[in-house]
Chains A and B, each alone.
Chain A
Amino acid sequence: MAELLNIILNIVRNALRMLSLGRPAIDNSLNINIKCSTGNTLSVGLDPEWDIGEVKNIIAPKLGANPKEVKIIFAGKELEDSIVIKDCDLGEQSTLHAVKLSKSFVKPSSGQLSSVIAEAISDEDEIAVLQETIDRAGSQFYVHCPVCNDLRLGKLRVRCSKCKSGAITVDTDPKSWSDVLKSNKISGHCEQDDCPDGAFAWAEFYFKCTEHISQGENDEAVPLYLLRNNFKNIPCLACTEIKHVVFVFPCKEAHVTCLDCFRTFAVLRLRERQFVLDDAIGYTIACPAGCPDSFIDECHHFKLLTNEQYELYQRFATEECVLHAGGVLCPQPGCGEGIIVDSSCDKVACSNGCGYVFCRKCLQGYHLGECNSLDNASLSDDIHHITDPARAAQARWDEATNVAIRVTTKPCPRCRTATERSGGCMHMICTRCSFHWCWVCQIEWSRDCMGTHWFG
């Protein structure tokens, strides 16, 4: 047995030597990983001018097969022998899948499958858009790449939803974004040896960044599918410019803004705390034209903002989550730790944060009896303790801040968020809890307020 193996190995080595002798040295070789259905991965340098037939000659011996029995799969497609590597959209460190043909494999009847897919496709416009993207730009997709931490062009890739192997051929191309983003839309045939789904597998699509060398199969990018190439030359609804790349809001009308206006719009809404916390989606915004059911449901789109703005987005989102769950935020300047509280107790301690102990109702230092922020704060001035001078200086600064907040703001009558009025009428709408209140009366806004002192 061992002898036989040696003979085979020798043949292979000779064959490889002959191949390499017969060719000039490769200057601009691509380093490609070839994953075999047996589980081995080979790293090979391929000349971009070679065709798939030549790749099969190299790989067949490794599979213990005749080159004719080998199938090369890439991005859900079987590559024909005549295809030249440079035309395959392969990047450095891309992975090809090599499979030994199994004779028992019978292709499922196509009639069945097309009927499944026909049901799955509903939005004709979506189909047109995706098809157009593929036709005109050669699969140009926009993604957020976590490695580059930026907006990049992405490549669509596919794997088996069961065994996660890339050795899958799809029965049909995805025709709409829903085919790509939702699971179990496109069927395929998984050629991984031990895959339980095999001939009846579902394709799972994912994206890779085109701009850095692949760092392996887990190096994925998030599709920003609301970003599209503006083939229809639709002007931005805000600035009316016609830009090459646009943001298409997920409303029925598919309203379009350019990326700059999207950023301006999102930042404005964020700073005014006008994002909405949706149970299913998260902290998000809707179409600027006010269309129903138009929340942006992939929050990575907010990665289009600067890092600083995105951090603000994350902070607000976390705060809204805490408040939504009935918690409070530590009022100590510079802290803001979210605390889930026991609603029967008014004494809250910021035990994971700064240690401040405060009243749940008025968010001032903890006190006994009724809340009366001004009086309680001044009480402590009479008591002298030995203090760390640095901390004392910090405390003075904090006190000045508190005074400034007290003088320039009024608390929302419902949630007590300190609110500053920078002009306009007396009708206040709380940016945190949306309560309508009167700046003068500090109670709920009424017809009476509107009639007698709307503008003061």
Chain B
Amino acid sequence: MSALPRRIIKETQRLMAEPVPGISAVPDESNARYFHVIVTGPEDSPFEGGLFKLELFLPEDYPMSAPKVRFITKIYHPNIDKLGRICLDILKDKWSPALQIRTVLLSIQALLSAPNPDDPLANDVAELWKINESEAIRNAKEWTRKYAMEN
């Protein structure tokens, strides 16, 4: 394994020293490219009060290619599928080496505040979100209580 690039070290240090409010990202003890992430559900969203676990991996050619991010905690969200995969342009074709772990996690937090049923990943969730928003929000709150509020 090649040495850890300075960029990753600096980003990690900054994430530790000045964490993003509502987000914690800690590198794995055995692999500095693998981060254990916890995002708190944003206020005034159906995910409020929940703690959502994610995994984030920095591929070999990071920052030239995007980090790989996935929700581990189950979540009822039109842009996140059953396996926790996220529909976010900056993780795909809009990725730029000028973006960082920090900006990616902030975008994911923003996605929780503003679900976008017009660009869905989980089609059934998106459908319900459009037809009956209050029921969809009720489901999201229910899932948050059930899966994201252990203890």
A, B bound: yes
Q: Report A's interface with B, CB cutoff 8 A.
A: 237-241, 255, 257, 261, 264-265, 268, 288-290, 429, 447, 450-452, 454-455
Annotate B4-31 by CB proximity to A: 1 below 8 A, 0 otherwise: 0111001000000000000000000000
A290: nearest chain-B partner, CB-CB: B96
Whether the pair B96, A268 counts as a contact (CB closer than 8 A) is no
Q: Which A residue's beta carbon lies closest to that of B10?
A: A240
A257→B64 CA distance, assembly (Å): 12
Whether A450 and B121, one on each chain, are in contact in the complex, defined by CB atoms closer than 8 angstroms, is yes
With the chains together, A400 CA to B63 CA distance in Å?
38
B120 near A238 with CB under 8 A, answer no
Interface residue B1 (Cβ < 8 Å from any Cβ of A): no
A289 and B63 CA atoms in complex are apart in Å by 12
* B93-127 contact mask (Cβ, 8 Å, vs A): 1 or 0: 11011100000000000000000000011010010
Cβ distance B114 to chain A, nearest Cβ, rounded Å = 19
Q: Among B83, B97, B120, B123, which residue has its beta carbon within 8 angstroms of that of A265?
A: B97
Judging by beta carbons under 8 Å apart, are B94 and A290 in contact?
yes
A265 CB contacts on chain B under 8 angstroms:
64, 97
Query: Are B96 and A450 closer than 8 Å at their CB atoms?
Result: no
Complex: A455 Cα to B85 Cα, angstroms: 10
- Determine how close the nearest CB of chain A comes to the CB of B15; give it in whole angstroms: 14
- Which secondary structure dominates where chain B touches chain A? loop
Contact A455 B83 (CB under 8 A): yes
CA distance A238 to B85 in the complex (A): 25
For B, the interface residue count at a CB cutoff of 8 angstroms equals 20
Chain B interface (Cβ within 8 Å of chain A)? 5-7, 10, 61, 63-65, 81, 83, 85, 93-94, 96-98, 120-121, 123, 126
Q: Are A255 and B83 in contact (CB under 8 A)?
A: no
Asked if B98 and A255 make an inter-chain contact with CB atoms under 8 angstroms apart, the answer reads: yes
Interchain Cβ contacts under 8 Å between A and B, 22 examples: A237-B97, A237-B98, A240-B6, A240-B10, A257-B97, A261-B64, A261-B97, A264-B64, A265-B64, A268-B64, A288-B96, A288-B98, A289-B97, A290-B96, A429-B93, A450-B120, A450-B121, A451-B120, A451-B123, A451-B126, A454-B121, A455-B85
Q: Contacts of B85 on A, CB cut-off 8 Å? A: 455
Q: Which residues of B contact A268 (CB under 8 A)?
A: 61, 64-65
| A261 cross-chain contacts in B, Cβ below 8 A | 64, 97
The one of B7, B121, B126 in contact with A240, judged by C-beta atoms closer than 8 angstroms, is B7
Shortest beta-carbon distance, B131 to chain A, in Å?
Answer: 14
Known: A239-B5, A240-B6, A450-B121. A455 touches B98 (CB 8 A): no
Pick the contact of A289: B83, B93, B98, B123 (CB < 8 A): B98
B-side contacts of A455, CB under 8 Å:
81, 83, 85
Cα A306 to Cα B98 in complex, Å, equals 24
Which chain A positions have C-beta within 8 A of B97? Answer: 237-238, 257, 261, 265, 288-289
Give the residues in chain B near A451, CB-CB below 8 Å.
Answer: 120, 123, 126
Interface core residue of B5, B61, B96, B120 (most chain A CB under 10 Å) = B96
**Top-10 shortest CB links A-B:** A451-B123, A289-B98, A238-B97, A240-B7, A239-B7, A237-B98, A288-B97, A238-B63, A268-B64, A290-B96
Q: Judging by beta carbons under 8 Å apart, are A239 and B81 in contact?
A: no
On whether the beta carbons of A264 and B98 are closer than 8 Å, the reply is no
Given contacts A237-B98, A447-B120, A454-B81, 19 further A-B contacts (CB under 8 A): A237-B97, A238-B7, A238-B64, A238-B97, A240-B6, A240-B7, A240-B10, A241-B7, A255-B98, A261-B64, A261-B97, A264-B61, A265-B64, A268-B61, A289-B96, A289-B97, A290-B96, A450-B123, A451-B120
Min C-beta distance of A251 to chain B, whole Å: 11
CA distance A447 to B120 in the complex (A): 8
Give the complex CA separation of A454 and B121 in angstroms: 8
Cα-based distance from A238 to B126 in the complex (angstroms):
36
Q: In the complex the two chains form, what is the Cα distance from A452 to B85 in whole Å?
A: 15
